[in-house]
Amino acid sequence: SPFRVGLAVHTPTWYELTESTNATMSSDILAYDSPYSQTLSDHLSSDYLTYDYKMITPWKFNVSAGTTFGGVLALGAEYEYSNYGAIKLYYEDGDENTLMNDHTANNLTGQHTLRFGAEKTFGTFYTRLGYNFQTGGYGQNAWKMLLLNSVQTNTAYTNLKHTQNITCGVGFRGDVFYADAALLYSKQKADFYPFDVLELQATSLSRSHVKGVMTLGMRF
């Protein structure tokens, strides 16, 4: 039977990361000939602006199925899931960062991905069609948390929603040369927030673009 099924499990990845932050404050003071500038790191210990931590990514599961008909038509489908709300952060000494982990669990969700594809051959020529659907992975009212002692000023954040991709393409397979060309149409919606204030209504964003790709090759 040409029918095939597949199962894949991606284990978590362990990261050891170092994050550094620097900031500069400046003000126009009439008593000075030029704007007064002072770098915060001159007066704060390096431990305040640089810290090490560990992160563990979630498990990822994938199931797939595919078959062929008469050796000229191939069909495939794939489903993938990963719960990004299960990401874990730990301090350098190994203690769990419960503040950030609780925030992650409450604001990130599982991400679902569906993929469908078909390919038809006409001798040495191929035609292809594909579809991809992916959920955003953010909760309904997810918000960006900045710590009270943070010097970050990038308060804006964007909650991504579903993404859809449609592809079509043609290909040629010769004894020496081969070529492929494809068009990709992608559409995604998102909610934009300037601050972490849920009372402010989000700005709805819609992004779409078309991308073309071509590959030429030679076997020798």
Confidence grade of residue 165 (pLDDT, cut at 50, 70, 90): very high
Distance (Å, whole) CA 82 – CA 112: 7
Distance (Å, whole) CA 81 – CA 110: 7
Which residues make Cβ contacts (< 8 Å) with residue 183, sequence separation at least 6? 167, 168, 169, 210, 211, 212, 213
Neighbours of 191 (CB within 10 A): 19
Confidence grade of residue 180 (pLDDT, cut at 50, 70, 90): very high
Mean confidence (pLDDT) of the chain? 89
Q: Is the pLDDT of residue 48 over 90?
A: no
Segment 176-198 mean pLDDT:
92
Confidence grade of residue 85 (pLDDT, cut at 50, 70, 90): very high
Q: Is the pLDDT of residue 34 over 90?
A: no
Distance (Å, whole) CA 56 – CA 148: 25
Confidence grade of residue 201 (pLDDT, cut at 50, 70, 90): confident
Query: Judging by beta carbons within 10 Å of its beta carbon (0-12, 13-18, 19+), is residue 209 exposed, middle or buried?
Result: exposed
